[in-house]
Amino acid sequence: MLTTPQESAPLCEAADPDVRPSGIVLPANACDCHAHVFGPVEKYPYVDHRTYTPPDASFADYQKMLSTLGLERGVIVQPSVLGTDNRATLDAVAAGGDQYRAVVVVNEDVSAQELQVMYDAGARGARVNLLFRSNFQVDNLRTLAKKLADANMHLQLLIDVSQFSDLKTTLADLPVDLVFDHMGHMPTTESQNHPGFQDLLALVSEGKAWAKLSGSYRFTQESAAPYQDVTAVAQSLINANPERMVWASDWPHPHIPVAMPNDGDLLDMLSLWAPNAPVRNRILVDNPTQLYGF
């Protein structure tokens, strides 16, 4: 495994360490539902075939960011650069205790025993990256979904919904809850009338799917927060079913196409998307408690 940058996997910018406090008064047990930890690479090496090389981003650094913002819970998500070696993710959750959960990455041939071990270590879902894993077939997805359902875990999808015209047909009968990263990752140049986004709204409305209100900088056309072209996307998802929304920082923001944002600004955006405090509290506390079993 490679641990140094290569031409096809450039070194990423580090997260802004000077986190500005948010203007939102957070309720107790507010949760950040999507973040990553990286390094040290000597202990947790990166896979050879990757699209970026992140600098170290420790669990202690993550906890410092959460503390500054007043967030008390977190979900550590396995990043693509670590492949299926989930040690860094699960070690972070072990260090954090019961206020943290994990989302792992596994192959479709994972055993029930392996999933049980990860569940006992705090994993509540498994992530499939369909943006950068084009050889992953629907049959593989069905096989994995059945195993996850048996393990009481959800299926998290990194997917651009605008690349699919039959999303609901493909996913609606999977025997597991679905969680969509980054609001479905559809570029804001696409219309919300796109069949893929409409299918996402339908899955959310029916309670089959959850969406993470996160990663705005990954599909915006703007260069800095608050990424105003994302507001309508977020509000459409919230209006579809506020009981299926969770918020996430996406810290430390690896491999993004814009200038590094400040995490305080990212949290403040939630007040634009959900100006109603009870709705925000549901997004920050009640929904994560249900989805991740806090």
Per-residue pLDDT of 147-195, as tens digits, reads 999 999 999 999 999 988 888 988 999 999 999 999 999 999 999 999 9
C-alpha dihedral, 131 to 273 to 225 to 36, nearest 10°: -50
- In single-letter form, the type of residue at position 205 comes to S
pLDDT at 6: 58
Question: What is the tens place of the pLDDT at every residue in 61-75?
Answer: 999 999 999 999 999
Is 109 noted as a catalytic residue in this protein?
no
Q: Domains plus CATH for the chain? A: 31-292 (3.20.20.140)
Asked if 153 and 119 count as a contact pair (C-beta separation under 8 A), the reply is yes
Inform me whether the pLDDT recorded for 34 exceeds 80: yes
What is the rounded CA–CA span in Å between residue 161 and residue 186? 6
- Distances from the Cα of 12 to the Cαs of 18, 181, 248, in angstroms? 18, 20, 20
- Count CB-CB contacts under 10 A for residue 5: 16
Mean pLDDT lowest among 68-82, 107-121, 125-139, 178-192: 125-139
| Confidence bin at 2 (pLDDT 50/70/90) | very low
Alpha helix segments (H runs only) across 80-194: 87-96, 112-120, 138-150, 167-171
If you average pLDDT over residues 109-135, what whole number do you get? 88
Would you give the distance in Å from CA 209 to the centre of its chain? Answer: 14
> How much is the pTM?
0.94
Q: Indicate the average pLDDT of the chain.
A: 94
- List the catalytic residue out of 16, 181, 250, 263: 250
Specify the amino acid at residue 144.
L
By CB atoms closer than 10 A (0-12, 13-18, 19+), residue 15 is buried
